């Protein structure tokens, strides 16, 4: 598999200049400044920037909108032999980058996170203002962590080793068709029954394995459920 995806097409605008100007003038982020607080200087600057935005819109942005993002994906036939692992190698680093660079968080259902991360009820005023509770971003961090855990296990199955211990000692016993032990002089067909020998210490922790595997499945479920939230 070969994947090459270019940058999004850039749209030229004056928003960043506007935000920096307002922050410099009012000593706080632009989104915290009400337009009613703008004085004549602010209004003049905003008007000039709006005019420049119109120039950009009818010139260079007309060219930009005709361009297409460069995307090229080549899939080889062996990529589908174990497609879940193939895709995991691509998805895992993307999820880690999202966790590293995230600038926001989607809403996460309280039932998908531990009790200590579930939200408290907001007041009516807080809801009207579009506020979120103090665990909002922690919930998304937790969900991302579970997704990453699941895909790490998909690309490296060595996690299974911790549930196997001891040495296997197998013995083969000669039996007849009814399962009775026989010797080489048996008059009839001889079959072989596999069993554990006296030196067998092999142990498989099925309960631990199932619990670990269930967490992987849950991480993959969360990936599917919040796939459309991977914009942050």
Q: Mean pLDDT throughout 113-125?
A: 83
Q: How far apart are CA 217 and CA 151, in angstroms?
A: 10
Query: CA angle at residue 189 from 184 to 192, to 5 degrees?
Result: 70
Distance between CA atoms of residues 97 and 106, nearest Å: 16
User: Is pLDDT at 128 greater than 80 in this prediction?
Assistant: no
Question: How confident is residue 140, by pLDDT bands cut at 50, 70 and 90?
Answer: very high
> Are 232 and 98 contacting, i.e. CB atoms less than 8 angstroms apart?
yes
Structural domain boundaries in the chain = 1-74, 82-155+205-232, 167-201
Q: How confident is the model at residue 66 (pLDDT cuts 50, 70, 90)?
A: confident
Predicted local confidence at residue 139, as pLDDT: 95
* Average pLDDT over every residue of 97-120: 91
Residue 144 predicted with pLDDT over 90: yes
Per-residue pLDDT at 126: 67
Select the more confidently predicted residue: 225 or 187.
Answer: 225
């Amino acid at each position: 598999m070969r994947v090459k995806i270019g940058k999004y097409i850039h749209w030229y605008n004056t928003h960043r200049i506007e935000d920096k100007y307002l922050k410099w003038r009012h000593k706080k982020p632009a989104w915290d400044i009400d337009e009613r607080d703008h004085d004549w200087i602010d209004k003049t600057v905003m008007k000039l920037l709006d005019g420049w935005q119109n120039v950009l819109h009818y010139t260079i942005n007309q060219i930009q909108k005709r361009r297409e993002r460069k995307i090229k994906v080549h899939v080889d036939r062996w990529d589908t032999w174990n497609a879940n692992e193939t895709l995991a190698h691509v998805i895992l680093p993307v999820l880690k980058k999202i966790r590293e660079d995230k600038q926001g968080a989607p809403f996460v259902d309280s039932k998908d996170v531990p009790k200590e991360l579930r939200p408290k009820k907001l007041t009516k005023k807080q809801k009207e203002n579009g506020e979120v509770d103090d665990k909002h971003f922690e919930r998304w961090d937790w969900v991302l962590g579970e997704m990453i855990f699941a895909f790490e296990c998909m690309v490296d199955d060595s996690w299974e080793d911790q549930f196997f211990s001891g040495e296997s000692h197998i013995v083969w016993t000669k039996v007849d068709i009814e399962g009775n032990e026989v010797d080489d002089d048996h008059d009839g067909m001889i079959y072989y029954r596999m069993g554990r020998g006296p030196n067998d210490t092999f142990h498989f922790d099925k309960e631990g394995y199932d619990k670990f595997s269930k967490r992987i499945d849950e991480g993959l479920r969360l990936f599917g459920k919040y796939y459309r939230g991977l914009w942050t």
